[in-house]
Amino acid sequence: MKVYKFGGASIKDAPSVKNLLKIIQKLPHKASLCVVVSAMGKITNALEALLQKYWNQQDCEDSLLQIYEFHHKIIKDLFLDEKEEIYKIYEKNFQTLKALVAKPLQDREDKDFDALYDAIVSMGEVFSASIVSYYIHKKTGACTWIDAKQLICTDSQWREGNVQWDATLKNIETKALPLLSKGIVLTQGFTGGNAQGKVTTLGREGSDYSAAIMASCLQAESLTIWKDVPGVLNADPKRVPDAQLYAQLSYAEAAEMSKYGATVIHPKTIAPLAAKNIPLYVKSFLYPSQSGTCIDNTEARKFLPSIIFKAQQMLVRIEVPPLHFLKEADLAVIFKIIDKLGLRVHMLYKSAREIHICLDERPLKLKALQRWAGENFQIEVIQDLEMLTIKDADETTIRRITFDKQIVLQVRESRLYQALIR
């Protein structure tokens, strides 16, 4: 039993979907396979833009047309006969998306932005799962799509759904496991469902986590994440041209890298795999025969510095009133507010009278933070920042990476260097 996860870049167009089929057909004939897919290409970004237009009560027609034509072209390139059932399936799914933004915002009873986010943005995975599963079934005669909402059970924490593991295990064992003996089972990443049957999402780029959940509950032999890079590199090659490949990493090292913002693996992916000692392979869908990176319980140490850039960050400076000093009770109030808002602290610096906190840039959450914390503290915010983290840092690497950057704040701890930069 293996689990394969294909990200947006690996199914961005019809040739990519055909390449996916070639990869899975290289498995031994009787091997069981669960496939997890992300939204195609950059459709998640397009759906987020659609949601923003709807939230701002702007016309959504152009955004809808862009999304419709993108998927329709892929379907036409894969299936020349327009009588194929996938055309009807796609039209039905698209009407579901259209209905979500058809009702005027002021007339909705459910005006929660994050709940709307999950309902609208998760449609990208619905489109991709329906198209890819239909194509695999058409070519092999053995692929079943199971909606992730029926498998991965979460609470109602919109955009950051917390997995209810007992219910999820039962769902996967009863609904997915029996079908794996008959062929490929495919489900969409990034999404789950709450007890009320409403769709939830697991966090941006959460399809890796979905695949790890499936692998854990199925007690898979391995999980392979197929990327447009040769494996886990010590830096983004677009930012650091001489980035190098890690042939092997431990669970702990990979988890720490993802926590600091390394985008090749979602931060929650590692824990379910480590608990069951399931190896994770990160491989290139362009060169599938290459070995890529293996992440397991190895004791091997890496010596390359990890250079990680995390975009869309903001620095929040929180200061106590004049002639006062920052006490533990003040910190408790601040972090309680941050936790209540569902924000995550990526970096912090504390002095006698103020604390500097790096958070993801979330405008609506920032307004609430300013409103609640502003009752007791003075708050200043710097937006449009990027967080740089260098693990196993040395002075040469720090100077090389930061020489042309404007540093807003930097923190150094032993071999860990972090800075907020412009």
Give me the tens of pLDDT residue by residue for the chain, a chain 422 residues long: 999 999 999 999 999 999 999 999 998 877 899 999 999 999 999 999 999 999 999 999 999 999 999 999 999 999 999 999 999 999 999 999 999 999 999 888 777 999 999 999 999 999 999 999 999 999 999 999 999 999 999 999 999 999 999 999 999 999 999 999 899 999 999 999 999 999 999 988 899 999 999 999 999 999 999 999 999 999 999 899 999 999 999 999 999 998 898 888 888 999 999 999 999 999 999 999 999 999 999 876 667 899 999 999 999 999 998 889 999 999 999 999 999 998 989 999 999 999 999 999 988 889 999 998 887 899 999 999 999 999 999 999 999 999 999 999 999 988 899 999 99
Number of Cβ within a 10 Å radius of residue 239? 12
What tens digit of pLDDT does each residue of 191-209 get? 999 999 999 999 888 999 9
The rounded radius of gyration (Å) of the Cα atoms in the chain is: 23
Can you give the pLDDT at residue 264?
80
Per-position DSSP letters for 96-150, written without gaps between them: HHHHHTTS-GGG-S---HHHHHHHHHTHHHHHHHHHHHHHHHHHHS-EEE--GGG
Which residue's entry shows tokens 């496939």?
Answer: 35
- pLDDT at position 414 is 85
Cβ count near 84 (within 10 Å): 16
pLDDT given at position 403:
94
**What does the alpha-carbon distance between residue 135 and residue 133 come to, in Å, rounded to a whole number?**
5
Tell me the domain boundaries of the chain: 2-227, 306-421
pLDDT at 52: 96
Query: Which two structure tokens, joined as six digits, stand for 308?
Result: 């990680």
Is 176:193 a contact under the CB 8 Å cutoff?
no
Give domain 306-421's CATH number out of 3.40.50.1220, 3.30.2130.10, 3.90.1150.10, 3.50.50.60: 3.30.2130.10
The model carries a pTM of 0.88
Do residues 358 and 366 make contact, with C-beta atoms less than 8 angstroms apart? Answer: no
Q: Which residues of 35-65 are buried (b: 16+ CB within 10 A; e: fewer)?
A: bbbbbbbebbebbbbbbebbbeeeebeebbe
Position 125 scores a pLDDT of: 98
Q: Say how far apart CA 422 and CA 74 lie, in whole Å.
A: 38
> Are 239 and 309 in contact, with CB atoms under 8 Å apart?
yes
- Can you name the CATH fold of 2-227? Carbamate kinase (3.40.1160)
- Residue 200 CA to residue 380 CA, distance in Å, equals 33
The phi and psi torsions of 218 (rounded to 5 degrees) equal -90, -5
Which conformational region is residue 93 in: left (phi greater than 0), alpha (psi within -120 to 50 degrees), or beta? Answer: alpha
Alpha-helical (H) ranges within 157-285 are 165-171, 177-180, 207-218, 251-259, 270-276
pLDDT for res 302: 64
State the pLDDT at residue 382.
96
**Cα angle 80, 83, 88; round to 5:** 110
- The 10s digit of each residue's pLDDT in 30-42 is 789 999 999 999 9
